[in-house]
């Protein structure tokens, strides 16, 4: 059972206090988008074995959504960070690159 530190209130919350929200950094597609772009936004997900960026809500705590960078294979958490960004901050990317040599955000983003 995971522990994630909520970056908003600083609580190290366990999974039962959290609500998972799926893949992070999706770009919303609105009324002008093509069928393909909209389908991709609604349904296409990365599902990698390895580094993954996710949305979580501290549902039983401060109620804030946040982002987590996590390895889906080892469950290592590289860090949690604000929900109000459209891509992972440099600090998180550096930490992942240090732990997973060869990894880069451009492969994902």
Partner 1 sequence: MSEPVSALSNASFDGLVHVQEAGLHGMIALRGDLDSEALQSAVTNSAGVGVPAPRTVVFDGARGAAWMSPDELLVFCPYPEAGATLAQLTDALGGAHALAVDVSDARAVFEVRGPRMREVIAKLAPVDMSAAAFQPGTIRRTRFAQVAAAVWLVDDAEARIVCFRSVAPYMFALLCTAAAPGGEVGMF
Partner 2 sequence: MSTRLATGGRLTDRSKPMSFRFNGQNLRGVQGDTLASALLASGQLLMGRSFKYHRPRGPVASGAEEPNALVNLGQGARFEPNQRATTTELFDGLTATSQNHWPSLNFDVGAVNTHLSRFLPAGFYYKMFIHPRPLWKHFYEPIIRRSAGLGAAPDAETVDADTYEHFYAFTDVLILGGGVAGLQAALGAAGSGAQVLLLEQSADWGGRTPVDGGEIDGKPVQDWINDAVQALGNMDNVTLRNRTMGAGVYDHGYALGYERLNDHAPEAAGPRHRLWRIRARQIVTATGAIERPLSFAGNDVPGVLLASAVRDYVVNYGVSIGDRTVVVTNNDDAYRTAICLQEHGLDVPVILDARPQGGGALMQQAEALGIRVLRGKAIASVQGSRKVTGVTICAQAGEGAVLETIACDAVAMSGGWSPVVHLWSHCGGKLVWDEQQAFFRPDLGKAPTGHDGTPFVIPAGAANGYIHLRDTLTDATTAGVSAATAAGFKPKSTAVPQAPEQPEAPMMAVWLMPQGANVALRAKAWLDFQNDVKVSDIQLAAQEGYESVEHAKRYTTLGMATDQGKLSNINGLATLSRALGADIPSVGTTTFRPPYTPISMGAIAGQARGEIFQPVRETPLHQWHQSHAAHWEPVGQWRRPYCFPQGGETVEQAVQREVIATRASLGLLDASTLGKIVVKGPDAGRFLDMLYTNMMSTLPVGKCRYGLMCSENGFLMDDGVVARISDDTWLCHTTTGGAERIHGHMEEWLQTEWWDWKVYTANVTEQYAQIAVVGPNARKLLEKLGGMDVSKDALPFMQWSDGTLAGIPARIFRISFSGELSYEVAVPASQGLALWEMLHAAGAEWNATAYGTEALHILRAEKGFIMIGDETDGTVIPQDLGLGWAISKKKADYIGKRAQARSHMTDPTRWQLVGLETADGSVLPDGALAAAPGKNANGQRNTQGRVTSTYHSPTLGRGIAMGLVLNGPERMGETLEFSKLDGTTVPTKIVNAVFFDPEGEKQNV
| Nearest residue to 108 (alpha-carbon basis) of 88, 94, 79 | 88
Q: Which partner, partner 1, partner 2, none, binds residue 17 by CB below 5 to 8 Å per kind?
A: partner 1
59 binds partner 2 (CB under 8 A): yes
Nearest-approach distance from CB 83 to partner 1, in angstroms: 12
Sole binder of partner 2 in the list 17, 50, 77, 103 (CB under 8 A): 77
62 binds partner 1 (CB under 8 A): yes
CA–CA separation, 54 and 98 (whole Å): 19
């Amino acid at each position: 059972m995971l522990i994630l530190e909520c970056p908003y209130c600083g609580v190290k919350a366990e999974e039962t206090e959290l609500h998972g929200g799926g893949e992070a950094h999706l770009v919303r597609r609105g009324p002008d988008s093509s069928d393909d772009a909209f389908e991709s936004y609604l349904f296409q997900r990365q599902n990698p074995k390895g580094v993954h960026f996710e949305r979580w809500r501290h549902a039983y705590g401060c109620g804030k959504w946040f982002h987590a960078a996590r390895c889906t294979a080892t469950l290592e958490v590289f860090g949690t960070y604000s929900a109000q960004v459209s891509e992972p901050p440099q600090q998180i990317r550096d930490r992942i690159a240090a732990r997973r040599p060869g990894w880069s955000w451009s492969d994902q983003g």
